[in-house]
Structure 1
Amino acid sequence: MPAFRDMAGFVAVYAGRMDECRVDGERVVPQPGAFYGGWITGDVVGPFKGEPGSAGW
């Protein structure tokens, strides 16, 4: 599909399922919960969906 051509050859991973993931040398923290695949670094500010009590967003 032409709309996804720029993504060809890339791989997506869940940080929480890996032994370790880093962005520019900083170890990332997986987004809380089993559903979301977000990567949290020191530059990202919460609150984060997936934490206890955040299901109603």
Structure 2
Amino acid sequence: MEVAARTGKEVHRVRVMHHPASFALTRTPAGRLLYDEKRVIRVDLGTGRTTAIDLPGTLLDA
């Protein structure tokens, strides 16, 4: 879920199957990036499509 900093109101909500929690949500021109310990998922808010990229290790290893 993305919340507007000024108003505190919900801006976007996305549910990604098999991805219960994220460390971070980053806005990019191509969509939003969700990070967890082992994967990055790009979400296209216009189409709802997702693209997952498995990381070679965990973020905590970096």
TM-score over 0.5 (shorter chain): no
Q: Which has the higher helix share?
A: 1
TM-score (norm 2): 0.26
Which of the pair has more CA radius of gyration?
1
Q: Which has the higher strand share?
A: 2
